Amino acid sequence: MEISTALSAHEALEMLKTRGFDVIVSDYEMPQMNGIEFLRAIKETHPHIPFIIFTGRGREHVAIEALNLGAAFYLQKGGHPRSQFAELRNMIEQAVSRKRAELALQRSEQRLSDIINFLPDATFAIDREGRVIAWNYSIEEMTGVPAREILGKGNYEYSIPFYSERRPILIDLIFESSEEIVKRYYGVVHKKGDLLIGETDLPRLGGQKAILWGKASPLYDHEGNIIGAIESIRDVSERRRMEEALKESEARYKGIVESQEDLIARFLPDGTYIFVNPAFCRYYELSYDEIVGSRFRPHVPPEEMPLVRKHFASLTPKNPTGYIQHRIILPGGEVRWQSWTDQVIFDEKGGIREFQSVGRDITDVVKAEEAVQMANRKLSLLSRITRHDILNQVTALMLYLDMAKEQAESPWLVDFIEKIQRVGQNIERQVAFTKEYEDIGVRAPTWQDMNGVLQRALQSFDLSAIRMHCEVGDLEVYADPLLERVFHNLVDNAMRHGDGITAISISTTMSSYGLILSVEDDGSGIPHEEKEKIFEKGYGKGSGFGLFLAREILDITGISLIETGEPGTGARFEVFFPKGTFRSLKRSNAP
């Protein structure tokens, strides 16, 4: 025996956190926690460890309480040490042996129960007297009869959910002779060794007509005697319907494929074509017989071949389907664009059996996209030139208005000029807005270090009078490159409109749907009726574009922005990043 000792129950409990033991032998009188209290603690945390209490004479009440609490044995101190410890050793061996046997039996019974319960087919078992001894989850779902209502019942109780009457079914034939089965059920039940296999049409099962396939076999004891039977039942109604539908589908398949304008082909790993549709033949101006059975190779420009090879190399059993666009040179020399969706069919060992490809000519689409891109570049150039010219004119206008205001003597004229100046300032802001809005979505979204984004967004503010707390951890987010502008606008909004603001906090929390990044202040907050209006273009005291732009920038990658603060206690803007738009930043440990 390997023995570990502890000077107190608390020390023993600490040892149990890191080590396992087969049995615990404990005194009763101990500091801080006595043996009974220790036993209670053990039964809560390690109920399967046998517990032997070993204490002095005159503590019979302790023994009774210990045994009532689940102690394996009680041994009284005193007498000859050799005989006493021999008795203790015997108790230890008995307790461990008994517990191991109990656990082995429990595991065996649990394994058997789990096997039956988690079989995908509806399964039940009966004993020689026809009493139900097992009724798994699947048959509960099939029949609507829970196990607790049928276990232990006989007299063909198990046939009622299927036939609405008590009668023998496939499982009962296990107890009949082979000759009787062949004579009475020939053509209905098939015998395969010990197995009986049958199929039947039921007028109703749960109110619907059903076709059931069943398989029954005997249950044996360790001496080879039949002690019961087990049957698995499978509803094959849907499979039958699918088989019939498949036949109809196959009849229509040829007509559908042949009428398709998409290019459809199947070919082997060595490039030999085994099927092409008429559209494929028309496109390449070849007959079916010229392509099928040959290693036909469409002419792909040499510079595109690495892309094609990489595409086919990327198709694996885990990712068997891929999409590619590339150019093709037709027999007459014309260059066209094609798109292909290719799927690999793998065998059981992971080898490639064949390729299935569906393609189409996208030349017109590509040319249209190129035309749109050219138009966008021209519009962008025109927008920049026009914006520059307008701002120049507005600058001149504002200068002349300042000069006119200095010369004006009449108060009404000064007021009139100031109104014109405000109109000019609005024009200037709106033109500036077109520049910012034009940049949204121009560049592709990227993964960005959130700490770096916030650092750049905050550096233009004077935060000397503000308590700034920023804690977002090592976080990367997938967003438009203008993400920095979002947080600049949120902080700017707080600084401009948060009356009495003394602190700004930026933090993150996880939800079951994604990550929430909060920007909150201790200012006056935003009234309930304005919580959505503040995101409208032109709303507010300033330009009215800041929060509108922030929401537009985030929306590019499906990120949302709402205000959830309580009026009077401060504003709280929540930026919600759905799963897939954030991840932990992998920082390098290199010096």
Provide the pLDDT for residue 590.
Answer: 38
Secondary structure class of 41 (helix, strand, coil) = helix
**Cα–Cα distance measured from residue 395 to residue 279, given in angstroms and rounded to the nearest whole number:** 63
φ/ψ of 23, rounded to 5, equals -155, 155
HEC-encoded secondary structure of 49-100:
CCEEEEECCCCHHHHHHHHHCCCCEEEECCCCHHHHHHHHHHHHHHHHHHHH
Question: Are 469 and 518 a contacting pair, CB within 8 Å?
Answer: no
- φ/ψ (deg, to 5) at 282: -65, -40
- Counting residues of the chain whose pLDDT is more than 90, the rounded percentage is 30
pLDDT of residue 482: 84
Q: Report domain 260-361's class.
A: alpha beta
Of the candidates 233, 218, 133, the residue with the CA atom closest to the CA atom of residue 181: 218
Q: How confident is the model at residue 578 (pLDDT cuts 50, 70, 90)?
A: very high
Could you give the CA distance from residue 587 to residue 341 in angstroms, rounded to a whole number? 37
Tokens found for residue 82 = 């050799």
Task: Calculate mean pLDDT across residues 508-529.
Answer: 90
What is 9-114's CATH topology? Rossmann fold (3.40.50)
pLDDT at 340: 93
Which residue type occupies 74? Y
* Element (DSSP H or E) covering residue 216: strand 208-220
pLDDT at 85 over 80: yes
Residue 434 three-state SS: helix
Residues 485-509: pLDDT tens digits? 889 889 888 887 767 789 999 999 9
Identify the band that residue 449 occupies on the pLDDT scale cut at 50, 70 and 90.
very high
Domain residue limits, the chain: 9-114, 118-241, 260-361, 367-439, 446-584
Q: Do the domains 260-361 and 118-241 match in fold? A: yes
pLDDT value at 273 more than 90 = yes
pTM: 0.35
Q: Does pLDDT of 514 surpass 80?
A: yes
382 pLDDT more than 70: no
Decide if pLDDT at 378 tops 80.
Answer: no
CATH class of 118-241: alpha beta
Give the chain's length: 591
Residue 412 or 563, more confident: 563
Reply yes or no on whether the pLDDT at 166 is more than 60. Answer: yes
Pick from 525, 568, 574, 526: nearest CA to 551: 574
Q: What is the pLDDT of residue 589?
A: 41
pLDDT tens-digit series, residues 49-72: 999 988 876 667 888 888 888 888
Classify residue 334 as exposed, middle or buried by CB count within 10 Å of its CB (0-12, 13-18, 19+).
exposed
Number of other CB atoms surrounding residue 54 within 10 Å: 17
Measure the N-to-C terminal CA separation of the chain; round to a whole number of Å.
53
What tokens were used for 2?
Answer: 């390997």
Helices (H), 411-499: 411-439, 450-458, 483-497
CB 523 within 8 A of CB 496: no
Read off the pLDDT of each residue in 203-230 and give the average, rounded to a whole number: 80
At residue 231, what are phi and psi to the nearest 5 degrees?
A: -135, 135
How large is the angle between the packed helices 35-45 and 9-16, nearest 10 degrees? 20
CATH code for 446-584? Answer: 3.30.565.10
CA distance 170 to 557: 59
Q: What is the CA radius of gyration of the chain?
A: 41
What DSSP string describes 121-186?
Answer: SEEEEEETT--EEEE-HHHHHHH---GGGTTT--TTGGGHHHHSS----GGGGGGS-HHHHHHHHT
The mean of the pLDDT values for the chain is 83
pLDDT reported for residue 338: 93
Q: What 8-state DSSP symbol labels residue 303?
A: G
pLDDT, position 588: 41
Determine the pLDDT at residue 512: 83
Judged against a pLDDT cut of 90, whether residue 4 lies above it is answered with yes
Three-class secondary structure assignment of 315-345: CCCCCCEEEEEEEEECCCCCEEEEEEEEEEE
Please, what sign has the CA dihedral across residues 267, 272, 277, 282? positive
